[in-house]
Structure 1
């Protein structure tokens, strides 16, 4: 943030405003906030540390709440424009578009604030966690598996939210969620292992990019632990973010997380101690106990009384919060350039932008000529996503929605487009009453008292992932729900923190059904009242009603009828964002449900001469069967209100395909690895280190043109070339490598090509991976050839040197591959980097953290103390583990000094061995036992002589430290 709180030419810049009449807005935000804090009482300051801060009228401060949700539109505050999910926005690879979307969302949030000043201008978006693993339930919320691409796109979205004024902010974006957060399963108690290379090379850049750009003013700490310490206590990591930010940075807790430190993570035994530690670590705002600030105030007040907190620590947090409020114009609204009226919602330009965003996000994954569709073709659109536009947890309430079937009918005519959503239309007769289930009255209560001919006694049943069904009344389209004990059919969509609109079906031996309400786990039964009301309160299957199901219309038959004489069949499959994977729920399967794949085959068999298009509308990648037999495969995220129009624009060729994947789609389920293994280097996760080729690579996406990569040359060299073994030489401290890539479109249609550059270093001293280092968009007319200039920052070739705790571009050869995706790189350029090599690690007379090891096996990183430092211990489920420090200078060493502790009673040992660099044989120099006694925070420094010292005149060696049993170790040092 800037410290200048008023533009130099602002009118009446020195005129006092609000209750703070003694203050002048010409003061910088930090100075003004500090002055305000000096005028607050201790009790007032502590009260401000809860998410719901009280008003202080004598200083012109109104009541304040941190946090408004604006992930892809304003959420939970009534009608607002809904844009594509972030993973879809990212597929545009278009920072300008994301900035425009962010600006539109910011305007609508400001409109909500104008209508209700309690609406916070501190917005909780974007999510910048890199999409490390496709099974993460919140995949829909992130941008890319690549951290630098994530940073680029998140910066663009945050820039729109922030606005471009040099002083005032439209809103203050909050980056979520720091750090190492990619699993929902046990998310509040799992410890993500982020060894230094993974932390600095992969995790942090996604956060530091938007911060360094000055477009984010806050960060939210994640629920989980990192290296054994709760993120809300990870002051060292929060400090790294604050170092990246040009101004003040507010750190907010995630909801209920402060209490988890004691109640779930058991890192402290006392909430007073834990709250004090969080504030010392750098957390500035506590979101806990919903709107009740009482417990937070009590804990912090007691911490101050006990001496666990100094008042300057409290002041620091309140200053950060007040700076944010000042920069959004709270004290000087007449100087605020971002004030809008309450009616700036659902503007025509926002509708148009939503449609553009969908169209540019659609990715054509395969196409053998089926696309674009002819406007004269007879099209069947079938499947559960054929005409649905669905919502996710962070969606707002759209003013309208348009599905694909509707959009195609608008464009090419109702007669040419048939739509079948694949649901079965049923009459369900309760065996206890002999009557059919219907919805009655203004409350749409479900009762078993109808004649089968009643219009409200026919229901459409759709099977989703995980055996979950939705049922809706055919006459109204409203979904069944068991949320309020009495079953009703009054829901317009699946939604809620716990989805209440889904059911599980049990089929009895006689073919009758029983239905279990998934949200509560209760079975539906029929009450013994006159109407036969359905209620969700059966505790066991024996309590459940049995329904005789009569099929009025088979979904499969409807699909066959729709496809029978079609020229093109579009089968729209995918997920409902509230089911299968979302916040609190990781994906149990990476494949499309069997019922959906069966539907694909039904459609294909019904129209053997038609061209078959698989449209996947989803929040995440799928592993697709090899034998699909599709003529085209297309992907879209859940695109919000304009989903249908945007997809139709691309399918019909009104918009050329722009979308490219920002996350690879795996070819096999077994290729994705363990969800809980955050060491992407050792685990082979993401495009950087993947051991297996994907089905669709990072950056993949087809055009309707025919783009060829003709040549590449050094930008400083005249003439064209195709790349050769002759390397371009750069110095490690050079700024960039310039490339000129020649591309040609041999097709008749225009093509929007995304030229990408990936770096590899097969001979690098360390595992280096396969990294995106540059990209550029170019539009090519049919038959056009153009040169595209790209700049590869030399710093992007760097790795984290654990021996000196800094980034280093090591000397050696790097291969730059150029092409349309990470897996398709027809052009190559060799780059030779000259510079100083990393020197051997010095162990003699210098304590070295074991967390900075080069190779870790069967160990886990853990907290050294509750507040600072990282140590190593034997991994859960293992009896021993080791850390290897490569290329160490041990000349003159005669013994070992180790800082050790225990995880529990029982055997605990540490040993040190050496080997010649590159050799296989280890020679043990010392074994020592860790004494009994103390707890995990009781650290001892132990000394032991070598049994046979290494050669003092020899070359550097590798050192291995082995931990056995209950041993923990923080550092080792060789003594003379």
Structure 2
């Protein structure tokens, strides 16, 4: 029947196009059902071409006039790695907004920019390269279960409901609302329990069924069932001993059979290769590829399928039908993206390039930044500052003079530093005195070193290290690896120890991206003969001599290539690279400037964890803590702006400052938003989506995935500095008349009155938590069941209604493999109100 339909439609098209010079195939006819078009195209492909479509770099098929296409594009908080784009706050900051509508609007703006870039690239060159496509690897729906995880900044929250609600809004915004076409394709990642960097390539997450169902699955489930995500990315790691990208329980039993997913499963990075090389779950690359395909992984991101599936097919490990099953899923999404249709019928094909970092999108980025910043401390109500009062304010810290967006970012034209904004907005009444936080020598952090495009698969931040088993960089390196810093300690380097090197030499290469323009002092020291090339200039130093100190004039807008060669490294020798930033007025210290000022504002960042690196500690860097204590000692009116990728132990800083604003990484609107909050033009309204702990020693080990052992606010019984959902305001909100109405067997309606009894207009996040005696017996303290962000003018009262689904009240029964809802009395909390109810 299928072939009859194809012949019939082909005949109709032939009759309409007999005068055309080139044949018009049925798969090109937008009037036909998508499934018919998919079958027609698939039947015209060779086996090799079919396999090619299952690789991220799909080759061109000239005889069918199909251009090459690269599946890999990024949009974590804006179109990334593709030039100019609006940069929104990182997801951990977006999570602080608790605003699903805002997240949807942000994703809608991102997809507009992505569409405009795609069509411009396609028109210019006839095909699209990496980062220019319509298939995006976002959002990250792994949960922020442990702040030591290196990729915490990519998460929305530590709570399943909040993560799922924001992630689903993001997916919907990316994919659009047309019934036939996707605006772009969203890919929630990394499925599942992908919460470590140190073991991400070869580790296995040991997760009990209850933790999996109640904590790690829900956000992904929501994105599929409610968001209709068209793609999902499998994770590097294994789940209970089986690699996620070769795990039929995950990719078929749960994702497709239980949740009804009918889209494309894409592997992470080189995850298919790692099934063989790292997890040793297969005896050959082709067996690893076969296991992934048969488990339900449709595509390989690093193109391992190209050779792996060919060999697996020849060896009888898979059949052509197995390939076609994945092919149909892949082709269907490409048809839904309009890749085989004329622009005239694709509703998103005419989005103009003018939307890219448009004024509307800049305003949206500013709105997001305003709502994401969390006020943690405000003693004596020192904030907001009075913009009309003449005063002298010390600005202490390098971060006043730079912008920082983190990884997976675009390059906006509007890059205002906080110093520039403060001078422009309040320079008439405030005497600003800026000084660098210090001229201390410190390691060059990986965020200022960006490797070439060819290393994007492994991560671009840091350096590429080439290690040789001789003293002269001769022959082939014994290993090539991704290093985050030049901090080589041969005796402690386990990777090299297993090679028993008696002689060693290393070459590191990267590009320096200076955070500010000025004269940096780059310092190289080590038990080796050093040759350093910075730009076009070459410097040398013999082993045993004084450290090599180089003054380099760096421009923050121009990357500077750098190469470090260390020859004849002594046995158990060391090699390291550090630097000193430009220090501003060298005659002024932070303490001196602070002592002479009415107010001192310190701006510090800590982003020492990232993809590929977990945190060793949640403690604030010692030199930063020392600076805060020293400044707070000489000026009691000290305000701290702290930007971090995770909730650190900022409690040790709080006694030394009057106000503490947690900035996260708030995107290109950050500087404007901070200025507005400092001077009261915007009322801070961010609520932390994660817990700020008091003592990291009370946390379970990073590789412990059992949520009952103290994960998140739901189960943690230790000391907390700032709880989940916490955030101060310049005004005060009162709650009263809390009510719960049953709307049948599957939903509730929470009603409450919220009054603004303070002196500022403001936004409040109404958070509803539930408890049950049986929950508490199992260690579950409380659970977020609903939330809503509302605006309340000063002196006004609003009536808030929050629909709440039954799902957050369900618990997984591992014995019967089903969801159950406990009978009896529940207690629901909203603000300082509580009420008891039953289903």
TM-score by length of 1: 0.69
Corresponding position of 1:212: 225
Corresponding position of 1:924: none
Shift of residue 329, structure 1, vs aligned partner: 0.8
Pairing 1:128–2:141 present: yes
More helix by share: 2
Shift of residue 815, structure 1, vs aligned partner: 1.6
Equivalence map 1:893-904=2 (5 Å): none
**Cα distance, 1:625–1:657 mapped onto 2, change above 3 Å:** closer
Shift of residue 758, structure 1, vs aligned partner: 0.7
1:879-899 deviation per Cα after TM superposition (whole angstroms, max 9, x unaligned): xxxxxxxxxxxxxxxxxxxxx
8 Å contact from structure 2 (residues 436, 583) kept in 1: no
Equivalence map 1:274-313=2 (5 Å): 274-288=288-302, 293=303, 296-313=305-322
Corresponding position of 1:755: 766
Corresponding position of 2:273: 259
Cα distance in 2 between the residues matched to 1:612 and 1:255 = 45
Shift of residue 799, structure 1, vs aligned partner: 0.2
Corresponding position of 1:537: 565
Shift of residue 268, structure 1, vs aligned partner: 1.0
Cα distance in 1 between the residues matched to 2:826 and 2:401 = 49
1:894-947 deviation per Cα after TM superposition (whole angstroms, max 9, x unaligned): xxxxxxxxxxxxxxxxxxxxxxxxxxxxxxxxxxxxxxxxxxxxxxxxxxxxxx
Pairing 1:319–2:328 present: yes
Shift of residue 325, structure 1, vs aligned partner: 0.8
Equivalence map 1:65-214=2 (5 Å): 65-117=70-122, 118=128, 119-214=132-227
8 Å contact from structure 2 (residues 435, 584) kept in 1: no
Cα distance in 2 between the residues matched to 1:678 and 1:422 = 39
Pairing 1:607–2:635 present: yes
Pairing 1:22–2:26 present: yes
Equivalence map 1:879-898=2 (5 Å): none
Pairing 1:694–2:701 present: no
Higher alpha-carbon deviation: 737-746 or 537-546: 537-546
Cα distance in 1 between the residues matched to 2:133 and 2:193 = 27
8 Å contact from structure 2 (residues 395, 601) kept in 1: yes
Corresponding position of 2:829: 817
**Cα distance, 1:36–1:551 mapped onto 2, change above 3 Å:** closer
1:539-595 deviation per Cα after TM superposition (whole angstroms, max 9, x unaligned): 3598979999999878794322432333322211221x4xx2000000112011110
Shift of residue 651, structure 1, vs aligned partner: 1.7
Equivalence map 1:883-962=2 (5 Å): none
Shift of residue 680, structure 1, vs aligned partner: 0.6
Corresponding position of 1:850: none
8 Å contact from structure 2 (residues 405, 668) kept in 1: no
Cα distance in 2 between the residues matched to 1:267 and 1:303 = 15
Cα distance in 1 between the residues matched to 2:605 and 2:595 = 23
Corresponding position of 2:816: 804
Equivalence map 1:660-675=2 (5 Å): 660-675=687-702
**Cα distance, 1:353–1:555 mapped onto 2, change above 3 Å:** farther
Shift of residue 68, structure 1, vs aligned partner: 0.2
Pairing 1:54–2:59 present: yes
**Cα distance, 1:379–1:547 mapped onto 2, change above 3 Å:** closer
8 Å contact from structure 2 (residues 521, 549) kept in 1: no
8 Å contact from structure 1 (residues 214, 246) kept in 2: no
2:748 aligned residue (733, 737, 751): 737
**Cα distance, 1:738–1:549 mapped onto 2, change above 3 Å:** closer
Higher alpha-carbon deviation: 580-589 or 744-753: 744-753
1:296-346 deviation per Cα after TM superposition (whole angstroms, max 9, x unaligned): 333212211222112111111111111111111111132111123445422
Give the match's secondary structure for 1:625.
helix
Pairing 1:827–2:827 present: no
8 Å contact from structure 1 (residues 53, 63) kept in 2: yes
Shift of residue 672, structure 1, vs aligned partner: 2.2
Give the match's secondary structure for 1:283.
coil
Corresponding position of 1:337: 347
**Cα distance, 1:504–1:743 mapped onto 2, change above 3 Å:** farther
8 Å contact from structure 2 (residues 26, 40) kept in 1: no
Give the match's secondary structure for 1:613.
strand
Corresponding position of 1:36: 41
Equivalence map 1:341-360=2 (5 Å): 341-360=352-371
8 Å contact from structure 2 (residues 651, 721) kept in 1: no
Corresponding position of 1:491: 513
Q: Could you list the runs of 5+ residues in structure 2 that have no partner in the other structure? A: 1-12, 123-127, 442-483, 488-505, 551-562
Shift of residue 741, structure 1, vs aligned partner: 1.6
1:58-83 deviation per Cα after TM superposition (whole angstroms, max 9, x unaligned): 43432222120111111111222211
Shift of residue 645, structure 1, vs aligned partner: 0.9
Give the match's secondary structure for 2:37.
helix
Pairing 1:567–2:598 present: yes
8 Å contact from structure 1 (residues 707, 751) kept in 2: no
Give the match's secondary structure for 1:123.
coil
Higher alpha-carbon deviation: 150-159 or 737-746: 737-746
2:436 aligned residue (396, 404, 421): 421
Equivalence map 1:502-901=2 (5 Å): 525-526=540-541, 536-538=564-566, 539=569, 557-575=588-606, 577=607, 580-608=608-636, 611-626=637-652, 628-681=655-708, 683-715=709-741, 734-764=745-775, 766-819=778-831, 826-833=832-839
Cα distance in 2 between the residues matched to 1:411 and 1:526 = 49
Shift of residue 516, structure 1, vs aligned partner: 12
**Cα distance, 1:676–1:398 mapped onto 2, change above 3 Å:** same
8 Å contact from structure 2 (residues 591, 630) kept in 1: yes
Give the match's secondary structure for 1:116.
helix
**Cα distance, 1:734–1:502 mapped onto 2, change above 3 Å:** farther
Give the match's secondary structure for 1:157.
helix
**Cα distance, 1:227–1:785 mapped onto 2, change above 3 Å:** same
Shift of residue 420, structure 1, vs aligned partner: 2.0
Corresponding position of 2:499: none
**Cα distance, 1:303–1:598 mapped onto 2, change above 3 Å:** same
Shift of residue 284, structure 1, vs aligned partner: 0.8
2:69 aligned residue (55, 61, 64): 64
Shift of residue 693, structure 1, vs aligned partner: 4.1
Cα distance in 2 between the residues matched to 1:185 and 1:550 = 30
1:357-414 deviation per Cα after TM superposition (whole angstroms, max 9, x unaligned): 1111111112120111210243222123233221322112222422222211111016
Give the match's secondary structure for 1:175.
coil
Two-structure CA RMSD over aligned residues (Å): 3.5
Higher alpha-carbon deviation: 236-245 or 628-637: 236-245
Cα distance in 1 between the residues matched to 2:721 and 2:198 = 26
Shift of residue 38, structure 1, vs aligned partner: 2.1
**Cα distance, 1:690–1:321 mapped onto 2, change above 3 Å:** same
TM-score by length of 2: 0.80
Cα distance in 2 between the residues matched to 1:43 and 1:679 = 44
Q: Point out which structure has higher relative CO (alpha carbons under 8 A, 6+ apart).
A: 2
8 Å contact from structure 2 (residues 525, 577) kept in 1: no
Shift of residue 165, structure 1, vs aligned partner: 1.4
1:372 aligned residue (384, 396, 411): 384
Corresponding position of 1:724: none
Cα distance in 2 between the residues matched to 1:80 and 1:373 = 33
**Cα distance, 1:280–1:486 mapped onto 2, change above 3 Å:** closer
Q: Could you list the runs of 5+ residues in structure 1 that have no partner in the other structure? A: 1-11, 427-465, 470-483, 495-500, 509-513, 716-729, 820-825, 834-976
Cα distance in 2 between the residues matched to 1:416 and 1:269 = 69
Give the match's secondary structure for 1:89.
helix
**Cα distance, 1:831–1:125 mapped onto 2, change above 3 Å:** same
**Cα distance, 1:556–1:697 mapped onto 2, change above 3 Å:** farther
